Structure 1
C-alpha cells in the first residue's frame, strides 16, 4: 500500500513524501493505525522546522496530535480493537505502528472528528489552570492567543475567572471573542498596564498566563499582576533576552513589587496515565476535554483556519511562518 508522510527535509523546506508501505508483523502490544486528521502545532513544529532545536534533528517526520482508526491490533492488546477511532499523539504519517500504551483514548461517537486533535492543545493549556490558584471571581490575563493561549483563556473562564486576552493580532482577538472570552486588548495599542488597571479597578490581575514564549513579554507582564498574584509560564521560552534579573526577581521577592509567585506549566509535569498518588494526568485531562467539547463549553470550531490535504503541507507551514493572522488551526485531512 502507499503511505504518505510529511517531512521536514532542512530548515523551512517541507515535502510530502509517498512511499511503498509493507505492514510488518505486529508485536503483541502494538497497533497499526491510519490517520484521519492530524493537527499542526504552530509553536513546536515551527521551532522544529527552523532547524535550531537540538532535540529535533532534520530531516524528520513531525507531528503532535491526531485522530486515527485502528487497522489491526497485536495479540496482547485488550483495550482497543480494529475499527476503533482513537485520539493519540501521532506524527503526520498516514500509516503508523504504535505501542498500545501510547494510544490515549477512544473517541466518543458523537464528537466531531475535526475537533479531536485539538485535545492535545487543550491539555497543554490545561496545565496552566492545574498549577494556578485561579478561583471563582478572579481576574486573569493571557498573553498570546494562538491555539494554546486561546484554550487557556477559555479554560480559565470555565474555572470561574473573568478573562482578559491580549495579542498583537486582530484576527486572534476576534477569534477569542468568538470563544466567549470577556475582554480583549490589542498589545500594540496604548498602555496595556493602564487598560488592565482600569478593568481591575486598580488592583491588577490575580493570575497572568504567558503563552507567547517570548521572554520580554513575560517580564513586561509583571507590572500589571496584583499583590500576591502569580505568573504562569505556559509557552516555552525561546530566543535570547537581556534584562536586569535583580529587578525581575524583586517582583517575586518584595511586597511592594507585588510578591508574585512564578510557576512553570509544561505539559509533561503530570504523568501520562492515571496514577493513584497523583490527581491529574494527561489521560484524565483529555477525557475532561472530550466532555467539555461535547457539552459545547470548550469552543473548537472558531480555531480551525484550514482543513487541507497532506500534499499542501509546504503551503501550510509557509502560511504559519509568514501569515499568522490567517493560519492558526491547520488540520491535515488524510481521507
Structure 2
C-alpha cells in the first residue's frame, strides 16, 4: 500500500506493507476512502520532520475489508469513521482498534464522516468547558476546529460569540446568523451586551502560534469564576493578577477525549466501562456521526476541496508556503 509521510520538511508518498490482523482480534482492517488534512497540526509535524520520517493524518473514513474475531458491531462492507494516530494516517489501508471507530449510517455523506476525528476533538473541548444550558461561550480562532466547536455549541443551545482575524472565516459563520466578529472591539461589545456586562462563562482558545497575545486578554472577557479552555497549540501564559481577581479556571482540552494516549484503551482495544466514563474518544466520534446524520450541524462548507491521493504532497506544499488558506482539504483514495 501507499502512505503519505513527512520527511526533512517535505511530504512524500512511500510504499509499505498492508497491515495484518494477525494477533489483533479486536481490530478491523479499513480501506480508506477519504482522509482529512488538518493544517494546524500537520504543518507543525511537517516543520519538525528534519532528519526523520513522520506519518501524517489522524481523521479518516473507509470501508471495512476484514474484521478481527472479536468484532461484533461492524462487518465487511460497512463504512466507518476512524480517529487517532498511530492507527489512522493518510494511508491506503488502516488497522483500527474497535475503540477508535464508529459505524457510518447510509444517510451520511462519507466526506462529512471523514471529519469524525476533528468532530471528536471539538466535542471534547466543549465537554471540558462544562457549560450549562444557555451559558455564553466565546470561541477564539475559527479554523476548522473553531468552526466545528461553534456549530456544536450552538446546537447545544449555548450562547455563542466567535472571533477570528480572518474576515472570510468570520463570514462563514455569519452566513448562519452567528454572532461572529473580526474586530476585538466589536466582540467585546457583544460580550457586554449578551451578558449584561458580567462576562462570558467560558472562552475557548482555538488559535495556534504558541504564544498568542489573546491569552493576555481573554480573561477580561470572562465572568468571575469563569473558565479559559486551551484547545489550540498555545502556551498557557496568563496574567496571575487577573486570574486571581476573577478566581478564573484554566482548563486544557486534550485531543478527542478519555482514552487518548492510553495504550490499554487504544492499542489493546479495551474500552472504559460505560457507567464510569460516559464519553470516551470513540464515543465522541460516534456522537459527531449522530449530529451530522440528524442534520444538527452543517459541515459541508468545510469540505469544498478534494484532492486525489497522488496530488496530496503538492497540496501540503501550498499550505506550507501559505499559498492556500483553506480550512481543510480531503484526500480521496481510489
Task: Please report the TM-score for the alignment, with normalisation by the length of structure 1.
Answer: 0.84
Alignment of 1:102-181 (within 5 A): 103-178=100-175, 180=176
Q: 1:52 deviation in Å?
A: 6.7
Q: 1:60 deviation in Å?
A: 2.1
Q: Quick one: distance in 1 between partners of 2:21 and 2:141?
A: 45
Secondary structure of the residue aligned to 1:297 is coil
Give the equivalent residue in structure 2 for 1:5.
3
Please list the CA deviations of residues 88-134 of structure 1 after superposition, one character each: whole Å capped at 9, or x if unmatched: 121111123x2543551221111100011212111101122112242
Bigger relative CO (Cα 8 Å, ≥ 6 apart)? 2
Q: Quick one: distance in 2 between partners of 1:285 and 1:334?
A: 25
Q: Quick one: distance in 2 between partners of 1:221 and 1:317?
A: 32
The runs of 5 or more residues in structure 1 that have no matched partner are: none
Give the equivalent residue in structure 2 for 1:182.
178
Alignment of 1:212-251 (within 5 A): 212-214=207-209, 215-237=212-234, 248-251=239-242
Q: 1:23 deviation in Å?
A: 6.7
Give the equivalent residue in structure 2 for 1:86.
80
Give the equivalent residue in structure 2 for 1:265.
253
Q: 1:212 deviation in Å?
A: 0.6
Secondary structure of the residue aligned to 2:53 is coil
The runs of 5 or more residues in structure 2 that have no matched partner are: 260-264, 266-270
Retained in 2: the 8 A contact 1:142–1:149? yes
Q: Quick one: distance in 1 between partners of 2:21 and 2:145?
A: 38
Once the two structures are overlaid, the 10-residue window that deviates more, 110-119 or 274-283, is 274-283
| Cα gap change, 1:34 to 1:200, in 2 (>3 Å) | same
Secondary structure of the residue aligned to 2:232 is coil
Retained in 2: the 8 A contact 1:66–1:88? yes
Q: 1:76 deviation in Å?
A: 4.6
Q: Quick one: distance in 1 between partners of 2:70 and 2:199?
A: 55
Matched length: 316
Task: Please report the TM-score for the alignment, with normalisation by the length of structure 2.
Answer: 0.84
Q: 1:22 deviation in Å?
A: 6.3
Give the equivalent residue in structure 2 for 1:210.
205
Q: Quick one: distance in 2 between partners of 1:137 and 1:156?
A: 10
| Cα gap change, 1:234 to 1:100, in 2 (>3 Å) | closer
Q: Quick one: distance in 1 between partners of 2:315 and 2:231?
A: 25
Secondary structure of the residue aligned to 1:279 is coil
Q: Quick one: distance in 1 between partners of 2:324 and 2:24?
A: 46
Q: 1:211 deviation in Å?
A: 0.6
Q: Quick one: distance in 2 between partners of 1:181 and 1:259?
A: 33
